[in-house]
Amino acid sequence: MTRHNLNDLAAFAVVARTRSFTAAAAELGVSPSALSHAMRALEERLGLRLLARTTRSVAPTEAGTALLDRLAPALAQIDAGVEALSDWRDTPAGTVRLTTFHWIASTLLARRLPGFLTRHPGITVEVTVDDGLRDIVALGFDAGIRLGESVQRDMIAVRIGPPLRTVVVATPGYWDAHGRPDHPRDLLGHACIAYRNLGSGTLMPWEFEKEGRALRLQVRGPLVCDSSDLALAAVREGCGVGWVMEEDATGAIASGQLEQVLGDWSQPYPGAFLYHPSRRQVPPPLQTLIADLRS
């Protein structure tokens, strides 16, 4: 196979993974039009349509998906071979491709990653924010960061954060006007700010636990969104009740802006874990990142 074909196949894998010529072009450092032309040329050489294009999206066809399934492991091996050269350097170098969800990106990674990059200038970290649970191997990621209960069992998981809690909060004025709940089921009569998971398209249930009893509620209210920042802003303005990460609400609770209820139903659960495929040799850049985040 010519080098030109290999480059086009690698570019196809990026387009199929990102499902966007614009995003793929930015990642590859080329123009979207040049990338689209290269993909059409690849399809002509192979005699198959690999990508289904519309005015708003692009996705692999059945043939494209079959090709991607074969390409992804091969390209991962090539990347691993190049990154293994870091063993010959005094300091680790290379690229780590991560996927995580918005809250982790805006809290844990926002606090820890800048310092890591300063200490390790030879390492580049690519972070893709995605609330859906994805196959990191098929999509070409080196690792993912999720909450403990979401990590796939066949992955190597490393804890990189403390246990977490979600808490129920609203403004004191809201509670005074609508009453404070004595039991989680009382929230069904309140205006609750709901969260929609983009990965599954479903509303996220509010989860509670007390003395071994678990309870999941599907709440309703004036706002449904997929942004924890927007949800908390609506709660602070008195629009309704929020089920939020305790870390996000600590300052507002301490100042009296928000009031927590049902504290005995808010139990800690496993915090953030970095996970990666089970394999004998972890690339040095990823080893370095893991060691830094778990410290």
Residue 270, SS3 per DSSP: coil
Distance, CA of 30 to CA of 102 (rounded, Å): 27
pLDDT higher at 200 or 212: 212
| Record: fold of 166-265 | D-Maltodextrin-Binding Protein; domain 2 (3.40.190)
| Per-residue pLDDT band at 190 (split at 50, 70, 90) | very high
Residue 233, SS3 per DSSP: helix
Joined together, the tokens standing for residue 188 give 């069904």
pLDDT higher at 82 or 212: 212
End-to-end CA distance of the chain: 45
Whether domain 1-75 has CATH 1.10.600.10: the reply is no
For residues 147-160, give the mean pLDDT: 78
For residues 247-261, give the mean pLDDT: 96
Q: What is the pLDDT of residue 75?
A: 81
Count Cα atoms within 13 angstroms, Cβ side, for 158: 18
For the chain, the domains span 1-75, 166-265
Q: What is the pLDDT of residue 18?
A: 87
Q: What is the pLDDT of residues 24-45, one digit of tens each?
A: 888 888 888 899 999 999 999 9
Q: Is the pLDDT of residue 89 over 70?
A: no
| Number of neighbours of residue 21 by Cβ within 10 angstroms | 22
Residue 125, SS3 per DSSP: strand
Residue 38 amino acid letter? A
Assess contact for 6 and 38: CB atoms under 8 A: no
Joined together, the tokens standing for residue 293 give 């985040």
Q: What is the pLDDT of residue 86?
A: 57
Residue 87: CB partners within 8 Å, gap ≥ 6? 284
